[in-house]
Chain A
Amino acid sequence: MLELITENLPLLLDGLILTVEVTLFGIFAGLALGTLLAIGDMHGGKVVSTLIRLYVEFFRGSPLLVQLFISQYALPTLTNIPINPYITGFSVFALNSAAYQKGYIKGAMETVFEDQMMAGLSTGMSKWQTIRHVILPQTLRIMIPAWSNEFCSLTKSTAALGLIGFLDLTGAGKTIAGQTYRVLETWIVIAIIYLIWITVFTKIADIVYEKKKIPGIEISV
């Protein structure tokens, strides 16, 4: 099995790096966008909030693979502009994850919101200052565990990227299995690489959660 890894190291590494890049981009861009969506849903008024809900329903209510196909194959038939599969991969993952993370963020925000907002305003801070200095620091701490779950499912969804012509880790596995005919070993190796990457990242998230933990602010969602 070791020689299978060493012989195909470049391919495996390329696949892993792409998978890691897409996941990291998706999870962080999704966090930023999800935060804006959560705030927009809570404070943006009726129209904005309805649009945000439609957006979230679309991305949560359809398979990621279908979203990838729409972006990669369906949209270009409308616009006549071919889309680079990398652009599709990165953006669909960010948009999809934002839809899920918006829910986590909003839930966490609502648990801290009312009295903390009133307290912030009473000291002379504006609504935005209070969101930035009071609401978000508490919200983000509370949601780290949910966020780390989202990371796991996002990583696993990257296996779908191969179907739009993206050479991710699963794609690399398919190529290697096809070339070497060592199907069992190849897929075991691929599974172990996923497992290691997910374990490392969630461990880091656990450490950050413990380090940033403040007495009195724990998971309540």
Chain B
Amino acid sequence: MANVMECRHLWKTYKQHIVAVKDVSMQIGKGEIKLIFGPSGSGKSTFLRCMAMLTLPDKGDIFLGDECLTKPGVDLNKARARIGFVFQHICLFRHLTALGNVELALRRVLKFPKEVARERALQALREVKMEEWAHHYPAQLSGGQQQRVGIARALARNPDIILLDEPTSALDPELIGEVIDTLRDLATKGATMLIVSHEMPFAREVADEMIFYDEGKIVETGPPEHFFKNPHSERARKFLTRLIKKTQREQNA
């Protein structure tokens, strides 16, 4: 199977000493869903941003299909147009309506004519069930609604892959469900996704592979069942136990 995205021996160091990404390699195939989890501050977000070339890695190679993005002279804007990115802090364009947020890159990057862009943007909003909010500004929407617009903005360009950086962790607990439902929809439609998330029931349901990431490294990988039954590494086991307890507390509350 051809890889949609791949990275080889990726490194990223902040300010000489904080190593956020330490020799990380991984691939993701078409239609695959991989889920990264691990303690906060372990470098997961940095890794994801490096994959999208939003933060430039120090060393190593990233491939989007056949194209190497870490070669000098690559048109990164063009490459990023093929990658959808969903932010932890949502980061909608605050001066544009939901529709305007989704439409902007369709008009300016893909150069669609106005009507075509509008139609495509509305369709993307429909997919996340936000069509009736199309003309609202971000500040007029709840966090969950904003994040659904963020997802629509990422998928409107029909990207090869969608990278999601903790898409629910900045939301109030009662708003997480609607965003997870949206992601589940995307999963059943066959989207290729690399997700950083700690939503364990969701992971168990949709992930083809889970990746435990700690201190800038991939510590352990495997299907969800492997992690929930018998993770090898002590760190993954401890982390999961805490996480599952927390999830249970939240569900009982």
Give chain A's interface residues, CB within 8 Å of chain B.
Answer: 112, 115-116, 118-126, 129, 133-134, 137-138, 141, 214-217
**Known contacts A124-B80, A216-B137; is A119 also within 8 Å of B92 by CB?**
yes
Is A124 a contact of B91 with CB atoms below 8 Å? no
A184 → B minimal CB distance (Å): 50
Contacts of B95 in A (CB 8 A): 134, 137-138, 141, 214, 217
Contacts of A121 in B (CB 8 A): 54, 77, 80
Select the stretch in B103-111, B218-226, B238-246 that faces chain A.
Answer: B103-111
- Bound CA–CA A123/B78 (angstroms): 10
**Known contacts A115-B89, A125-B104, A125-B109; is A217 also within 8 Å of B80 by CB?**
no
**Chain A to chain B: the 4 pairs with minimum beta-carbon distance, closest first:** A216-B139, A124-B81, A123-B105, A122-B85
Report 23 cross-chain contacts, Cβ distance below 8 Å, ordered by A residue: A118-B54, A119-B91, A119-B92, A120-B93, A121-B80, A122-B52, A122-B85, A123-B109, A124-B78, A124-B81, A124-B157, A125-B108, A125-B109, A129-B109, A133-B108, A134-B104, A138-B95, A141-B95, A214-B94, A214-B139, A215-B137, A216-B137, A217-B95
Cβ of B138 within 8 Å of any chain A Cβ, yes or no, is yes
Contact of A216 among B83, B89, B94 (CB under 8 A): B94
- Bound CA–CA A129/B85 (angstroms): 18
Give chain B's interface residues, CB within 8 Å of chain A.
Answer: 52, 54, 77-78, 80-83, 85, 87, 89, 91-95, 104-105, 108-110, 137-140, 153-154, 157
B83 → A minimal CB distance (Å): 8
Closest partner residue, chain B, to A140 (CB atom): B95
- Bound CA–CA A129/B105 (angstroms): 10
Is A133 a contact of B77 with CB atoms below 8 Å? no
Contacts of B78 in A (CB 8 A): 124
Closest partner residue, chain B, to A139 (CB atom): B95
- Bound CA–CA A134/B83 (angstroms): 19
Known: A116-B93, A137-B95. 18 other contacts (CB 8 A): A115-B89, A118-B87, A119-B91, A119-B92, A119-B93, A121-B54, A122-B83, A122-B154, A123-B105, A123-B109, A129-B109, A134-B95, A141-B95, A215-B140, A216-B137, A216-B138, A216-B140, A217-B139
A130 → B minimal CB distance (Å): 9
Closest partner residue, chain B, to A128 (CB atom): B77
A4 → B minimal CB distance (Å): 49
Contacts of B140 in A (CB 8 A): 215-216
- Bound CA–CA A138/B95 (angstroms): 6
- Bound CA–CA A214/B89 (angstroms): 20
- Bound CA–CA A133/B140 (angstroms): 21
Closest partner residue, chain A, to B159 (CB atom): A124
B62 → A minimal CB distance (Å): 15
Closest partner residue, chain B, to A212 (CB atom): B95
- Bound CA–CA A217/B94 (angstroms): 7
Is B91 a contact of A115 with CB atoms below 8 Å? yes
Is B87 a contact of A119 with CB atoms below 8 Å? yes
